[in-house]
Each structure stands twice: as C-alpha cells, then as structure tokens.
Structure 1
Amino acid sequence: MLVSSPICLMLFSFVCMNESLKTGNVQEGEFIAEGGGVRGPRIVEGHHSACKETDWPFCSDEDWNYKCPSGCRMKGLIDEVNQDFTNRINKLKNSLFDYQKNNKDSSSLTGNVMELVRGDFATGNNNDNTFSQVSEDLRSRIEILKRKVLEQVQHIQLLLTPEETPHLKARALKWQVRPEVKRNTKSSEEHIPPKEAMLELALLSSLFPQCLP
C-alpha cells in the first residue's frame, strides 16, 4: 500500500500535466482563430482636412525641449511664412517689372536724345565750317582793302611832292577844271585850301578813273 502510493501520485501528476497541455493547445488555437496571431490595425494619422483647430498656442522656449506644436499649428505657421515669402516675391517681381519698363523707357529716351545731340553736333560742325569759310573770305577781303588803302596812301604821299609826279598833278588839275566837277566842288573849295583840294581831287580821280575822259 505504501509502495503503490508514490506510483499513484506520479501517474496522477502525469495525467494532470497532459490535460493541462491539451487545454493550453485548445486555448491557443482558439486565440489564433480569433485573430490573435495577426497584428492589429495601425494608428492612422489624421489628414489635413481633419484638422479643425486653428488657434493652437505657441511653444515657449522652455517647452520646446520636450514639447513641440501640433501638426496643424506647424502647418499653419508654414503656410503663414510661405504666404509672407510669396507676397515678398510678388512685390520683388512687380518692382523688377517696373524697373525693366522704366529702364526701357529711359533707354529709348536716351537714344532719342543721342540722335538729337548727334544732329546738333552735325549742324554745329557745318556751321563751324561755314563760319571758317566766311571768316577766311572776310580776312582775304580785309587784306585786299588794306592793300588798296596803302596804295591810296602812297598816292597821296606822291601828290604831296608834285615835282616828282607832274603827271598826277596835271591829272588832278584836269579833273579840277571840269565844269560838272567844278560845280559840285565849288562850295567845298571855298573852305578848303587849294593844296588840300588838289589832293582830294587826285584821290577821287585815282578811285574813279572811269569818270575821266
């Protein structure tokens, strides 16, 4: 009786272990059959359209180390900065377009001014050439007139010495005795000494030789 008791206990424990293993296999099979062996559904992030909150507070500098704004707030900040940069870019584009337009207008205006100035330069150059020609012509005429004046002065000086130029004296006397000249010079001879009158008549005869016969 004492010998059979340990054997009975061993048999009983073996039977209990076998039953427990069978029960565990049945429970595990039921768990897998119910979907326990498959990973459950993942957490799906909400789309941007699902974001309803718009007034999320900013994170302070102390909270930034372990907290950050929510996704909606970050998107709002990104959109705000993007809009700011877009406005700046559009403003720069408008300024660039205005500058290009003004530069084009300035270029065309500068071209027109250059054409006008070039025409004025050409006209001024022509005027300078004309002035140079007229000045040269006037200078030559002045030289001719000066030479004639010197010749007349020499004639007058020769008349002052009648013994060396008797033909000029005779010519002057012949001019003096002509009736029409005498009538024209009568009043002037009354107040002019004879020698000066003779010199004047000689000068007239030298200037207008075609009047003599």
Structure 2
Amino acid sequence: MALPLLNEHPRTAIPCAQKVEPREMRDLRLLARVSCELPVFGMALESSRFFTATVKDVSLGGLRLEFEEPTLRAGETVKVKPGRGPAGINCRVVWTRGYEAGLQFLDPPARVARSWVLPLLCPERGTDQSNRRRYIRVRSELPGIVGPPWGGQLPMTVLDLGLGGGMIRCDRSFARGTKLFLRLGIGEHEALETQCEVVNCQETGQGDHRCHVRFLDLSPAQMRLLGRYVVELLKACSY
C-alpha cells in the first residue's frame, strides 16, 4: 500500500512476517505492544452479553484482554471501554486462549487515534529508557524536510516513526542535542510541523547519516495527528 506524502507517492515498507501461524494472529504480533493493567467493561454486540476484563497490553492495532473466566469466542464483535467516561471502541475477537483473548480494532484509524487507547501508548515524561523504547515504531520510507529552526532545511526520509520520535536519513550529521525543525505528512492528513531533538546520529558509510530524534513539546492536536499517521502506517499491513 503506497501512502503519498504531500502530493508525492513514496513506497512505504512495513515488514510483515512470512510464516506459519494464521495471518491475523501473525500480523497482530507484529505490532509493538505496551504492557498495561486497565480494567474495562465490554459488550458482545451480537448476543448483548456484558463482561468485565483487564487490558494486559495494547497497540494501535488491537489489545489483549484477560478475564476471570472464559468469556468470548473468536469471530465475535465487541465494544470495549474503560468505565463510564470515554466512548467504546469496536473490536473483533481474533483469538481466545484460556482466560485471554486478542482483539483487533474495527473502528476507523482516526477514531482509534482520538480514543482512550492513545494515552496508554504515550508514556509520561520522566519514564525510564526501557519504557520509552516501548513507543510504537513503524518502519517506513516517508520523505520530508528537516533542519535548524533558523534555516538551511534539507530533504530527509523518515525510516521509522513512532509517537515519541523516529529515525531519519539525511545528507548531513547533527550533533547530539541539536534542536531541529521537522515537517512531514501522509495521505490526506494535514502536514505535521514540529521541533525535535537529535538523540544520536551515525554515518552509514553510503554518503548519508541516520539520526534518531525525539519530538519536543507536542501539543494535544499534534499528538492526535501523529497518532493518525502511525495508525495509517500500521493499517498498511492489513489483517
């Protein structure tokens, strides 16, 4: 699936495992997951059965529930929500195993990115490095521009993208801690323009450099937009 950026048409490469287990389970396993412990309420839509469960891990593609007793069947459609506040998310039960079930989100990517799911995927500032690595990271090949805020911007390619940052490829090196302006877009979504900070930068030996960057001070609107980008990339690896 090609995902155009700012009227361009780059090829987006998202790795899909090549093997053996059922495709739906295989692709669910490919999505980086964040461990959590969130009580939720749910309803099986066809039978109107209510249930309670705990979300044990979550990604932008789906979640894993744990029950006190076996509750759901593969193929059922359910609505899940944490308490009375947020709206529920529609899901399909992909697999069940004992007291656990794996669910795939059925709602459109934009709705998932605005839902109660997104905060679970965004660790607060100050979390340790091991938790920061748990940000969803999707491999991609998205063109954009990057450079110091005062000017001198140059073309770059985003090689992976997550809610906390990403890895870019460009023609020059930047020192650790350098603040950069970054602009990219995907599909019909508006462009994301934000500041980022270089975490590290290495020469590839092929005439370019790869820099890991983290996003700085994203507003709620920017975080929602970035979430939509990541969802679009994840959805490119269809179930």
TMscore range, shorter length: under 0.3
Q: Which has the larger radius of gyration?
A: 1
Higher helix share goes to which structure?
1
Taking structure 2 as the reference length, the TM-score comes to 0.20
More strand by share: 2
User: Please, what TM-score do these two structures have when normalized by structure 1?
Assistant: 0.22
